């Protein structure tokens, strides 16, 4: 019994000594041994169990296919965004041409047909010795159809020249008369003074000169005839800008025009004769946005407001008359449809918001390039 206890104590002592020696050879707590290629784990369960070696761990494989696929997806996304922005800008500038330029040497032409409808109530009366006679309320409606041919030429990449030739047809129900003829031919230019840079809004300055080739309203019989022009020369300047914010294009513009005085007139208005006319100053602003539903269809919504002030008539008697300032506001919706990869047709509906604005206006615009009128000059 005593011998067995001694042997047991000796075995326990030897095991304790071996355990302390083994613990002394282990790395400190939290440390790891450095090996060349594999990590070996030794598990010892009792003194008579064999040592088990773990299989070396394989290094994590890099999935090159996933990386390439992610890079390809990112590149396609960038291309898609660029294509979407380009498509939206093309559709937008096809209808709002004052916000864009064409490249040097390029020419393009457009055909615009616009219909406007004015409805007005007029008082027909006569006053004698402080009393009114022949008081009559008359409803009048005027229909106008304007066909405009516009040509553009890129003199430089940042300078585009334009010319417009309008053909006008009018009908007045109260006068029971119609007319058709040439309108006022105009010339213009659009210039981008600063190159495009990231983070900076594009700025386009534009100017125009309008002639008086149409029939003047101050040189016709005011009671029975209709005019196809405004009757005076004018010059104007303006500025426009735009901003692409996915998924829309925001735009705004402002302009001002000056009308040159017309003298030597001889038009009878009632009992007086007009000799001189000062058109005054006119101007306006517009803003809105364009949205592309898809590659083929887009929509533009805009608000436009214009004013005229400083007009004055001078009569042969030496009297002068200054009419009240006029303000015209219009809300317009335009729908653009791509009928071919390079051709976009735009239809516009406008609603007058003030008394001086047309009650309803309709418009259709498309490039004449589809008929072979657009090319690049070498």
- Residue 316 confidence (pLDDT) above 80: yes
pLDDT digits (tens, 9 = 90+) for 6-36: 454 445 444 544 443 444 444 444 444 444 4
Peptide bond before residue 211 is cis, with ω within 30 degrees of 0: no
170 near 134, Cβ under 8 Å?
no
Phi, psi angle pair for 17, to nearest 5°: -65, -45
- Residue 80 confidence (pLDDT) above 70: no
186 near 215, Cβ under 8 Å?
no
State the burial class of residue 149 (Cβ atoms within 10 Å of its Cβ: 0-12, 13-18, 19+): middle
- Residue 107 confidence (pLDDT) above 80: yes
Confidence of residue 63 (pLDDT cuts 50, 70, 90): low
- Residue 359 confidence (pLDDT) above 50: yes
Counting DSSP H helices and E strands in the chain, the numbers are: 2, 18
* Interatomic CA distance for residues 62 and 81, integer angstroms: 30
- The DSSP letter of residue 214 is S
Least confident of 42-51, 247-256, 305-314: 42-51
Can you give the pLDDT at residue 199?
Answer: 80
The mean pLDDT of the chain is 79
Average pLDDT, integer, range 200-204? 92
* Interatomic CA distance for residues 148 and 366, integer angstroms: 11
Confidence of residue 300 (pLDDT cuts 50, 70, 90): very high
Range of 61-65, 126-130, 372-376 with top mean pLDDT: 126-130
300 near 336, Cβ under 8 Å?
yes
CA proximity to 44, closest of 13, 24, 23? 23
What is residue 68's three-state secondary structure? helix
Give the other-Cβ count within 10 Å of 318's Cβ.
Answer: 7
pTM above 0.85?
Answer: no
Average pLDDT, integer, range 243-261? 92
Query: Domain-by-domain residue ranges, the chain?
Result: 72-376
Q: DSSP of 22-52, one letter per residue?
A: HHHHSPPTT-----SS--------STTSPP-
- Residue 39 confidence (pLDDT) above 60: no
Can you give the pLDDT at residue 38?
Answer: 40
The contacts found for 275-278 with CB under 8 angstroms, 24 or more apart, are: 275/314, 275/315, 275/316, 276/313, 276/314, 277/218, 277/231, 277/232, 277/311, 277/312, 277/313, 277/314, 278/310, 278/311, 278/312, 278/313, 278/314
pLDDT above 90 as % of the chain: 51
pLDDT digits (tens, 9 = 90+) for 141-190: 899 999 999 999 999 999 999 999 999 999 998 888 999 999 999 999 99
Least confident of 4-18, 125-139, 157-171, 307-321: 4-18
Higher-pLDDT residue of 23 and 367 is 367
Q: Containing H/E element for 151?
A: strand 131-156
Average pLDDT, integer, range 80-95? 66
What is residue 297's three-state secondary structure? strand
177 near 169, Cβ under 8 Å?
no
Average pLDDT, integer, range 281-304? 92
- Residue 213 confidence (pLDDT) above 90: yes
Domain 72-376 has CATH 2.40.160.40: yes
Average pLDDT, integer, range 277-289? 96
DSSP H helical segments within the chain, as ranges? 2-25, 64-95
Average pLDDT, integer, range 190-213? 93
- Residue 47 confidence (pLDDT) above 90: no
Confidence of residue 135 (pLDDT cuts 50, 70, 90): low
- Helix%, strand%, coil% for the chain, nearest 5: 15, 50, 35
**Which residues, in sequence order, are CB contacts of 65 under 8 Å at separation 6+?**
none
CA separation, residue 19 to residues 23, 51, 171 (Å)? 6, 16, 115
* Interatomic CA distance for residues 95 and 206, integer angstroms: 16
């Amino acid at each position: 019994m005593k011998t067995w206890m001694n042997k047991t104590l000796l075995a326990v002592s030897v095991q304790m000594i071996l355990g302390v020696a083994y613990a002394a050879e282990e790395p400190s707590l939290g440390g790891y041994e450095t090996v060349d290629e594999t990590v070996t784990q030794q598990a010892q369960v009792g003194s008579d169990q064999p040592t088990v070696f773990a299989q070396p761990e394989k290094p994590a494989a890099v999935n090159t296919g996933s990386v390439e696929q992610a890079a390809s997806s990112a590149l396609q996304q960038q291309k898609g965004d660029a294509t979407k922005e380009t498509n939206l800008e093309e559709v937008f500038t096809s209808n709002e041409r004052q916000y864009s330029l064409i490249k040097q040497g390029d020419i393009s032409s457009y055909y615009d047909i616009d219909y406007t409808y004015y409805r007005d109530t007029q008082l027909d009366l006569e006053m004698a010795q402080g009393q009114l006679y022949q008081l009559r309320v008359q409803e009048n409606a005027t229909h106008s159809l304007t066909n405009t041919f516009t040509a553009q030429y890129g003199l430089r990449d940042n300078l585009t020249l334009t010319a417009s030739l309008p053909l006008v047809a009018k009908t007045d129900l109260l006068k029971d008369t119609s007319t058709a003829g040439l309108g006022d031919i105009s010339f213009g230019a659009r210039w981008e003074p600063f190159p495009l840079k990231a983070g900076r809004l594009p700025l386009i300055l534009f100017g125009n000169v309008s002639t008086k080739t149409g029939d003047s309203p101050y040189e016709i019989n005011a009671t029975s005839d209709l005019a196809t022009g405004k009757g005076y020369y004018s010059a104007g300047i303006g500025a426009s800008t735009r901003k692409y914010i996915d998924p829309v294009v925001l735009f705004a513009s402002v302009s001002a025009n000056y009308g040159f005085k017309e003298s030597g007139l001889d038009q009878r208005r009632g009992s007086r004769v007009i000799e001189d006319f000062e058109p005054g100053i006119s101007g306006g602003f517009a803003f809105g946005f364009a949205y592309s539903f898809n590659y083929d269809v887009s929509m533009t919504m805009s608000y436009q407001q214009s004013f005229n002030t400083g007009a004055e008539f001078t009569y042969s008697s030496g009297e002068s008359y200054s009419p009240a300032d006029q303000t015209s506001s219009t809300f317009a919706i335009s729908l653009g449809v791509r009928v071919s990869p390079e051709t976009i047709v735009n239809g516009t509906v406008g609603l007058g918001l003030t008394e001086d604005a047309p009650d309803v206006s309709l418009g259709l615009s498309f490039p004449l390039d589809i008929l072979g009128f657009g090319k690049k000059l070498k």
